[in-house]
A = this chain, B = another copy of it.
């Protein structure tokens, strides 16, 4: 880092180059209006002084930045990084930069990021919220375009892009029932997550429609939706006496499913013979597991791209109307349920 000297400003550059500060600014912003000779002088001066434009001052004057941000629930979950890539693609096309923020499923962190971003006057914020009905979101959307990703609010106060989690849960369990299973586990948590609740709801629906008994669906709760949670749930599942033990499991996401798969394999059991497994999200690792995982596919990149495009419309189109896009998920059957 530089020693003590304050970093050079346009005024310093102007003095060094022997021109006015307006000219320096022109070199920066409208180089075509400056004669070659002058521009050269100014560029030399900038190089000598190590001038770095101050983005804060620039933005203060300009009032806006060319910046988008995505506040994601879990940066370690490939589902969200894929969504982020979709957002990134759209942002790049519009020559905007994207910052990623990891709330790590913590409402406090999420709030801090949202506040900071709105104070930073970013063009817009995409967020997969811990709680889509948080009052802070309503507060922020008054000033800054906000689009909700992977969740939907049924008032129409936000744009959103999400998959139909109820339908997805239903698909998964219908598939298991089709394959003859009548004792099925639903594995996931915490229930504070809408994703967990809705996928469960879909699972229940499928059971009901198939006329299964009330207790056909066994809910095994987990603390989170990571790998370790899946393994731990696996242990508990294996601990259940064989005659009562479910013959199939539907996991709230693929990380949990992969953890479960691993635990079951380690215990010497076979998937799908001893336990059939369905995941959710269809991340790349699902299809690539050595027992490829049946999963409910969400269009991950598409989700991100759609959300980003809605955001850009909200940010630039004066008569923008909020829209809630819902994607219908799709079952991808693989060996973890099919012999």
Contacts and interface: CB of A to CB of B under 8 A. Distances in A.
Nearest to A258: B288
Interface string A53-64: 111111110000
Contact of A1 (B141, B288, B292): B141
Interface in A245-294: 258-259, 261-262, 265, 271, 284-285, 287-292
A53 B60 CA distance: 12
This chain's copy number in the assembly: 2
Interface stretch (A142-150, A162-170, A180-188, A323-331): A142-150
Contacts of A97: 101, 112-113, 116
A93 to B, nearest CB: 13
Given A142-B1, A143-B2, A289-B290, A60 B50 contact: no
B284 A261 contact: no
Nearest to A264: B290
A227 B54 contact: no
A262 B288 contact: yes
Interface string A98-120: 11111010000000110010111
Most chain B CB within a 10 A radius of its CB, from A69, A75, A287: A75
13 contacts: A1-B145, A2-B142, A52-B118, A52-B119, A56-B56, A76-B78, A81-B81, A88-B102, A88-B104, A97-B116, A99-B100, A227-B288, A285-B285
Interface of A: 1-2, 7, 50, 52-60, 69, 75-76, 78, 81-82, 84-85, 88, 97-102, 104, 112-113, 116, 118-121, 141-145, 227, 258-259, 261-262, 265, 271, 284-285, 287-292, 314
